[in-house]
Structure 1
Amino acid sequence: MKHPTFEDIKNARETLRDISISYWFQDDLFTWRWWLLLVAAIIPWLIWIKFHDQKRTFEIMCYGLIWAMLASITDVIGADLILWGYPHKLLPMVPPLLPADITVIPISFMFIYQYAKSLKTYLLLSLILSAIFGYIIEFLFIKIGMFALHKWTHTYSFIGFFILSLVVYTLIKKLTPKG
């Protein structure tokens, strides 16, 4: 096998792009799974707008944006390493699971951050939510064909969600002015 060049990589990515877009048009767009992803991308934000603590909007949004950024980066890395995959997507060219990475996961943790009055409560609620995402939501998404585990486990996901919740909490507490 010859040593691959950047041109080889570009050509492979172009082929993958073309296949992905074709697959998306034929197997995703306007299917029930696509509609589910669209709803999942919009409804949680509407709920958050209605029920968030308006006195802490900036702080909670910063927390959520850090979550969304880290979730998206983690998801891209995991999908690129073929640890997991998404047979169906909302859009063919964005991070693997846009509705989860920038909506469902961050907003769920944003509500925990908003309502937890102590670190102990935050940790407990984060453990519970991490377990729900890692063991229940992922399992259901596998059952309906929207998520596939390759070299990954639900326990790794649970641990990953919880670690990310600790990282985001620590970052936002360090960034948020006291008083």
Structure 2
Amino acid sequence: MTVGDALLPHVPPVLRPVLIRHKELVKFGFVGGTAFLVDNGVWYLLKLTVLTEKPTTAKAIAILVATIVSYVLNREWSFRTRGGRERHHEAALFFLISGVAIVINLIPLLISRYVLDLGVPHVSLFVQEVADFTAGSVIGMLLAMAFRFWGFRRWVFPRGYSPDDDAPLPVAGGSATSHVP
């Protein structure tokens, strides 16, 4: 029994069919949340210690670390029922898509810091940190996440048949018999 199967009985019955139908997206979102925590933890660690003068370099390094975590979790959990590519080909495509996503993620931070001048001494340290977080960890991350989900499903983990695709998830007190298209 998977973690999702164990948690499904605790979800309100009206939401179960939606979660089952979009289980790949839910898993992708969970992996994204984990990568978000890794990204921000590494970013602030670097930004507040060794890379205080280079916030975009710190963010790029943090995104790279989070991308590696994301690859492992997406390969082994979110998109495990997809496949058909050799592992090295899949990894190359994953990191190519992720490389483009890193650029997409950094654009709002670059605009915030260097076009809008939302950095010390032009604004207070508090305003700078709020602007950095909003631009780099909210706006940039959301744009990059949408691009990654599309790119991963389209090129990295294309639809491949797995017996798990048709297997219904067991639900206490009833059965879930939906097929993921």
TM-score class normalised by the smaller sequence: 0.3 to 0.5
Larger radius of gyration: 2
TM-score normalised by the chain length of structure 1: 0.38
Higher normalized helix content (fraction of residues): 1
